[in-house]
Amino acid sequence: MGVHAPADLLGAADRLFDRVYSSRYNPLYRSGTLASLCLAIALATGVYLLFVYEIGRPYESVEAIQRDVWLGRWIRALHRYASDAAVAAVLLHVLRLLIQGKTWGPRTLAWITGVLLAGMMLLSAATGFVLVWDGFGQKLAVAGARMLRLLPLFPEPPDRAFAGEAAMSSQFFFMNLFLHVAVPLGMVGFLWLHTTRLARAAWFPERRMTLVTLAALGALAVLWPAPLPARADLLGIPGRIATDWFYGFWLPLAEGSPRAGLVAASVLAALLAAVPWVLRPAPPARPRAAGVDPETCEGCQQCFQDCPYDAIRMVTGLHPERHPLLAQVQSDLCVSCGLCAGSCASLAIGPPARTARDQLAAARSLVAAYPAPASRVLLVACARSGGRGLPAREAGSEAMVRLDVECAGTLHPGTVAYLGRHFAETLIVPCPSQNCVHREGAALAHARIEHERAPSVAGQIARLPVRMLDATAAGAPLGGRWPAAAAVSALLLALVALGSGAPQGVDAGHARLRLGWRLAGQTRERCRDLTAVEQAARPVHMRQSRECAREALSYELTAAVDGRVVARKVVTPPGLREDRPLSVEEEIDVAPGEHALRVTFVPVDATSGGATLALERRVSFAPARVVLVTYDGAGLTTVR
């Protein structure tokens, strides 16, 4: 694929959805606000689930919710599907930003907070699945704990809690419930920070699309209940389980190799965080911020009102007696969209070489390039719309003259009027109104050219042969369009439901031997006599004839099944100072049936005096079940 392949694919998808939904209601254009809406739905439904969930009996309380057909079941499903749809919306949002290059410079804060929001969303969802404590929640918890174990952050291995020697405590579920509630509340603050540099930021889609989205997800929740796998069983081998792939996509990698899962997650997080600097254009190709000519600026505030990034502020003018205010561009906020160039009646503002004065000069050159412009049709197209929306008869006309502009919103009404007076007809094709790279460019173009928004001169463009053409149909999906829109929407919702419960894994035909215990206090004391010289070199209060030091013992672990050694390793005390209790976590697959099992755990130095643990007995291994060998304080024992 070429460099432009992603942009071409996205453009093709945009055009397809435009035909189905129209550009006004195309969900691909509203990925950011749809993600916020889905998270709001998850928050609202989560309030109900919070009141009926019981920490002391997690799975049983969710079973009761699932049996409540009239209320609990569909609210739980809506909570689940809204969370899943949020992931799809976030992925689309990220893809569009990457393709459009909206990741660096003044947009860095939005990108970094967006990455943090995505991470918080994944964390909150993971804790929610663990709260159910079904087979999928167990897989998430165990795989996550094994990855965290590789980090030197915990005094005890996190996965020790899932060995299976005891049921999970209420404190574990309380911790997950706290995170599941606290993280989304924190996301509200980050969402504000995410949009803080946008003027007139919208967190949710417009009213009609909000209601349709809510109704569609609600209908899906009623017609297609969310799955509820079997209860978690720490002494069972998870088999083929209904999996939410939106949040459990990483499980196959992490279960196969926790180290590979942790490395992949770390690399992905680092790459996403580095995007604003990695993808930043080189200085020659980097657009520069807009500038203002203080001598000609009249302080009309139109650019201040039109800027979609709050990058312009009004300060005291150079000549207060004539113009009290002066526009001032904040270069650290300016994305060089150029929309201000079309808003200034005095032609005093705009990016370098892209002001309204530069536009007029280019327009004069274009008119001069054709001997009879009055016999030709001029097409002024947004560079990203490609002239879509132009009737076929006009697109194929030999008398067509084409002028590509960065954004239709940058066109100054004076430039449009000049072109309109010299060409037989001037057709302006902006981007779809909801897919303008510069946010409000298409809306501003329509307002200035069709509705005489300042700095348009009343009636001037209206008397000229100037027409605005939509890059795609902008009407609501009514009439003959709604059946296609309904069918595509149903397909998308079905994909969400399938991704929320498609099975993952295979049923195990083998058994498993798990070695898991903790042994503390295994140390020995080494003493030696100090020489007179050594005693004299120390402070008086530290002088002693004999010095003793404690050192932790290392142990050798050996496990044999039917006389065949299946595990042998030296276990050293963890911690930077090797002073933490010895911890054993080993898993070995075993063929089902009765086997002779022998496990020993002895000090490497036989003369150290440390405790010796041993177990030798015949044990029956059942398919898909785990036999746990653990330490109960008196010796090694088995738990099944």
Per the model's pLDDT, the better-predicted residue between 234 and 387 turns out to be 234
Residue 6 lies in a domain: no
Q: Which pLDDT value is given to residue 501?
A: 94
Residue 541 pLDDT > 60: yes
Residue 125 pLDDT > 80: yes
Q: In this structure, are 422 and 460 located in the same domain?
A: yes
Q: 265 Cβ partners below 8 Å, 6+ apart?
A: 147, 250
Q: In this structure, are 422 and 359 located in the same domain?
A: yes
Number of Cβ atoms within 10 Å of the Cβ of 595: 20
Q: Average of pLDDT values for 448-462?
A: 90
Q: Which pLDDT value is given to residue 388?
A: 54
Q: Is 265 exposed, middle or buried (0-12, 13-18, 19+ CB in 10 A)?
A: middle
DSSP one-letter code for 625: B
Which of the four pLDDT bands, split at 50, 70 and 90, describes residue 7? confident
Least confident of 102-106, 420-424, 512-516, 579-583: 579-583
Q: Which pLDDT value is given to residue 479?
A: 47
Per the model's pLDDT, the better-predicted residue between 526 and 460 turns out to be 460
Q: Which pLDDT value is given to residue 480?
A: 52
Q: In this structure, are 113 and 177 located in the same domain?
A: yes
Closest CA to 86 of 222, 187, 179, 172: 187
Position 496: which residue type? V
Annotate 123-151 with b (16+ C-beta within 10 A) or e (fewer). bbbbbbbbbbbbbbbbbbbbbbbbbebee
CATH number at residue 49: 1.20.810.10
Closest CA to 419 of 460, 455, 447, 475: 460
Mean pLDDT, all residues of the chain: 90
Residue 137 pLDDT > 80: yes
Residue 54 lies in a domain: yes
Q: In this structure, are 545 and 444 located in the same domain?
A: no
Residue 92 pLDDT > 90: yes
Residue 157 lies in a domain: no
User: Two tokens at 154?
Assistant: 């915990």
Which of the four pLDDT bands, split at 50, 70 and 90, describes residue 129? very high
Residue 384 pLDDT > 80: no
Q: How many domains does the chain have?
A: 3
The predicted-structure confidence for 326-355, as pLDDT tens digits, reads as follows 999 999 999 999 999 999 999 999 999 999
Number of Cβ atoms within 10 Å of the Cβ of 219: 15
Paired sense of beta strands 546-552 and 291-292, if any = unpaired
DSSP one-letter code for 332: T
Of the chain, the percentage scoring pLDDT greater than 90 comes to 68
Q: In this structure, are 306 and 260 located in the same domain?
A: no
Residue 303 lies in a domain: yes
The predicted-structure confidence for 347-380, as pLDDT tens digits, reads as follows 999 999 999 999 999 999 999 998 888 999 999 9
Q: In this structure, are 371 and 456 located in the same domain?
A: yes
Where a domain ends, among 440, 468, 496? 468
Residue 477 pLDDT > 70: no
Q: In this structure, are 247 and 347 located in the same domain?
A: no
Q: Which pLDDT value is given to residue 474?
A: 43
Q: Which pLDDT value is given to residue 476?
A: 44
Helices 108-132 and 135-148 pack at an angle, to 10 degrees, of 130
**What 3-state class would DSSP assign to 351?**
coil
Q: Which pLDDT value is given to residue 435?
A: 83
Give the integer Cα–Cα distance in Å for 497 and 85. 9
Span between the terminal Cα atoms of the chain, in Å? 54
Residue 295 lies in a domain: yes
Q: Which pLDDT value is given to residue 387?
A: 54
CATH number at residue 325: 3.30.70.20
Which of the four pLDDT bands, split at 50, 70 and 90, describes residue 390? low
User: H or E stretch including 598?
Assistant: strand 593-603
CATH number at residue 581: 2.60.40
Q: Average of pLDDT values for 509-528?
A: 87
Closest CA to 35 of 78, 76, 92: 92
The predicted-structure confidence for 13-72, as pLDDT tens digits, reads as follows 988 898 888 888 899 999 999 999 999 999 999 999 999 999 999 999 999 999 999 999
Q: Where in the sequence is the domain holding 342, given as residue range(s)?
A: 289-468
Which of the four pLDDT bands, split at 50, 70 and 90, describes residue 8? confident
Q: Average of pLDDT values for 532-545?
A: 79
Residue 492 lies in a domain: no
Q: Which pLDDT value is given to residue 575?
A: 73
Where a domain ends, among 468, 489, 522? 468
The predicted-structure confidence for 274-292, as pLDDT tens digits, reads as follows 999 999 998 888 899 999 9
Q: In this structure, are 427 and 518 located in the same domain?
A: no
Q: In this structure, are 351 and 449 located in the same domain?
A: yes
Q: Which pLDDT value is given to residue 310?
A: 93
**What 3-state class would DSSP assign to 597?**
strand
Q: In this structure, are 295 and 419 located in the same domain?
A: yes
CA dist list (Å): 577 to 154, 161, 462, 581 = 14, 23, 82, 11
Q: Which pLDDT value is given to residue 396?
A: 47
Q: In this structure, are 300 and 274 located in the same domain?
A: no
Q: Is 244 exposed, middle or buried (0-12, 13-18, 19+ CB in 10 A)?
A: buried
Q: Which pLDDT value is given to residue 3?
A: 54
Residue 553 lies in a domain: yes
Q: How many CA atoms lie within 13 A of 87 on its CB side?
A: 23
Residue 172 pLDDT > 80: yes
Residue 163 lies in a domain: no
Where a domain ends, among 255, 278, 301? 278
The predicted-structure confidence for 246-266, as pLDDT tens digits, reads as follows 999 999 999 999 999 999 999
Residue 394 pLDDT > 80: no
CA dist list (Å): 518 to 63, 631, 633 = 34, 7, 10
Q: In this structure, are 297 and 273 located in the same domain?
A: no
